Amino acid sequence: MQIVLALVIGALFGFVLDRIGATNPSVLIRMLSLRSLGLMKAILLAIGVGSILMFGGQMAGLVDVGHMSVKTAYVGVFIGGLLLGAGWALSGFCPGTGVCAAATGRKDALFFILGGLLGAAAYMITYPSVKATGMLDAIAGGKVTLGTVPGAKYDGLMAMPGDVLGIVLGLIFVAVAFAVPEAPGGDAVPAPAE
Amino acid sequence: MTLNWKIGGVALGLVFFLAVLLVKPIGVSTQFVILDGIIADVVNPELVTKTDDGYTSTNAYLAKSGGKYAKSVANPLNYSFIFVIAMMVGAFLSAMMRGGNGADENKLPAIHYANFGDTPIKRYAIAFIGGFVVLYGARLAGGCTSGHMMSGMMQTALSGYIFAAGAFAAAVPVAMMMYKKG
């Protein structure tokens, strides 16, 4: 059953990533250089919609709180984020979109995947020395959500109800998605015709 | 044919919701480690070994957290690994339905051509280096754009916000400096 779900949800994810232009490095780079923010609007809207449905579903008792999976906060999250961001802007790919882009026939994406496999291998080898620096040690409580989600195994950074906060933040993401201009510089680069 | 951002955003949000409703939040970058492990375990079968209560590895990273990565390496037909394979199938189907990227795009994305001309080798080198840095960073951070930024921020995880702050702090200046045209 799990495998069937992996096939269905994974295929949907890959399909939608391609349909919003996320497998195209030109679209990604134009987004990251703040020239064309249509994809950013879609991502913000997606986070908002996902958040509202998940926390709303939890409050209605329809979504299992136990399905949440919150990652640990540590200094390396920020440093790793910086590295990922730099490589993302350089190549126009992130791990998920790179894999999908290769499947759409992009040759450069194969080189991205090859580099990615080596980068991941380099981390596997250097992991003990990275760990020794202490930058993987949990900060601010580690696996925490911003509010305290009822029934979740994670602590909240703040005591306020995490499900309500999640819906409020979800609505804010949706509002920001609408507020962000599609072409901030005013240089109306049309969306690539595909 | 790219979906407009409203339809695309809602569709993407529904996929992330469906994942957490039925199984667990979406994540991708761990599977680069799992594939590395699978390949390395073929070369050196001593890498991942079965123990009384699970799996372990001579590699400290694969062995961490009770050997959960070692277990996935030993059992490639697990949810998260199949998920990434299925993503490729979905993206392939979508690309076929819209008639593909075209031979020029497949060789070289338009933005590279606009900035650096017809230099495919340079593009492949950039993509390779980018991939190395992205995956090293993702593993250091413990997740990527899917797991940290989208799944994490959707769950109001503090780590997701820290990650997104780092990723955009680096990505925006690099993209602006590297790609001035197109």
Q: What is the dihedral of CA A71, B173, B31, B55, to 10 degrees?
A: -50
Q: Which residues pair with B55 in a beta bridge?
A: B50
- CB contacts of A23 in chain B (<8 Å) are 91, 95
Nearest C-alpha of chain B: how many angstroms from A168? 11
Interface predicted TM-score of the whole assembly (ipTM), two decimals: 0.97
Q: Which residues pair with A145 in a beta bridge?
A: A156, B157
pLDDT of residue A193: 45
> Residues B77-124: pLDDT tens digits?
999 999 999 999 999 999 999 999 999 999 999 999 999 999 999 999
Is the CB of A57 inside 8 Å of chain B's CB atoms?
A: yes
pLDDT at residue B1 greater than cutoff 80: no
Mean pLDDT of chain B: 96
pLDDT in tens, chain A (194 residues): 899 999 999 999 999 999 999 999 999 999 999 999 999 999 999 999 999 999 999 999 999 999 999 999 999 999 999 999 999 999 999 999 999 999 999 999 999 999 999 999 999 999 999 999 999 999 999 999 999 999 999 999 999 999 999 999 999 999 999 999 998 876 555 555 44
Among B17, B32, B159, the residue with its CB nearest the CB of A53 is: B17
Answer yes or no: are the C-beta atoms of A70 and B34 closer than 8 Å: no
Q: Residues 73-132, chain A: which have Cβ within 8 Å of B?
A: 73-74, 76-109, 111-125, 127-128, 130-131
Q: Give the residue-averaged pLDDT of B14-37.
A: 97
Contact A54/B154, CB-based, under 8 Å? Answer: yes
**Phi first, then psi: what are they for A177, rounded to 5°?**
-55, -40
Is the CB of A133 inside 8 Å of chain B's CB atoms?
A: no
Nearest C-alpha of chain B: how many angstroms from A64? 7
Nearest C-alpha of chain B: how many angstroms from A89? 5
Nearest C-alpha of chain A: how many angstroms from B53? 22
Is the CB of A16 inside 8 Å of chain B's CB atoms?
A: yes
Among B36, B107, B127, the residue with its CB nearest the CB of A91 is: B127
Residue appearing with tokens 């790219």? B2
Answer yes or no: are the C-beta atoms of B179 and A29 closer than 8 Å: yes
Candidates A123, A112, A114; CA nearest to A87 is A112
Parse chain B into domains and list their residue ranges: 1-100, 108-182
Among A19, A121, A170, the residue with its CB nearest the CB of B36 is: A121
